[in-house]
């Protein structure tokens, strides 16, 4: 039997393993008519190994109120903050340096992000991530 038509596609960023039916998840998914507890349980089970990261998810809601979801890689900014050990990026962009990354750390982040970026090689992905880091005030050193 083929799946029904997709009626809605919802994108959320939820901390791994911490989805609850309370807001913000409940307020977004409630009107879509899906079972909130079922979604939260499935999401938390799927992201349990990534605790501490924010994981974007794309939820496809079907006519019969069933759903599927696809997990994405954490946002580059979150990974940069984690690797550079900073709380937030610079308020003044690249004019104020708030942290540093090595080329090896940049490569690790690029390898994690590669499936979700418009890049074919790790080197291209590194350039994209480096641009994000610079705009956050994080300097990339050799």
On whether both 61 and 45 belong to a single domain, the answer is yes
Judge whether 1 lies within some domain: no
Q: How far is CA 78 from CA 27, 37, 74, 81, 140, in A?
A: 24, 27, 7, 5, 16
Sorting pLDDT into bands at 50, 70 and 90, what band is 2?
low
Domain finish residue from 19, 52, 71: 71
pLDDT grade, residue 3 (50/70/90)? low
Tell me if 26 is assigned to some domain: yes
- Domain count along the chain: 2
Residue range of the domain that includes 59: 6-71
Q: Are residues 53 and 80 in the same domain?
A: no
Same domain (yes/no): 67, 110: no
Q: What is the pLDDT of residues 102-141, one digit of tens each?
A: 899 889 989 988 888 888 888 888 888 888 888 888 888 8
**pTM of the complete model:** 0.75
User: What's the pLDDT tens digit per position in 86-101?
Assistant: 888 778 877 888 888 8
């Amino acid at each position: 039997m083929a799946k029904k038509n997709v009626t809605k596609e919802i994108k959320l960023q939820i901390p791994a393993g911490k989805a609850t039916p309370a807001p913000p998840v409940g307020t977004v998914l409630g009107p879509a008519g899906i079972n909130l507890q079922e979604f939260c349980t499935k999401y938390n089970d799927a992201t349990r190994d990534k605790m501490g990261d924010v994981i974007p998810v794309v939820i496809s809601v079907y006519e019969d109120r069933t759903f599927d979801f696809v997990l994405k890689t954490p946002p580059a900014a979150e990974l940069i903050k984690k690797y550079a050990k900073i709380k937030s990026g610079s308020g003044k962009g690249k004019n104020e340096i708030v942290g540093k990354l090595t080329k090896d750390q940049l490569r690790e982040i690029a390898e994690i992000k590669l499936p979700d970026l418009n890049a074919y090689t790790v080197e291209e992905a590194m350039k994209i991530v480096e641009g994000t880091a610079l705009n956050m005030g994080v300097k990339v050193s050799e």
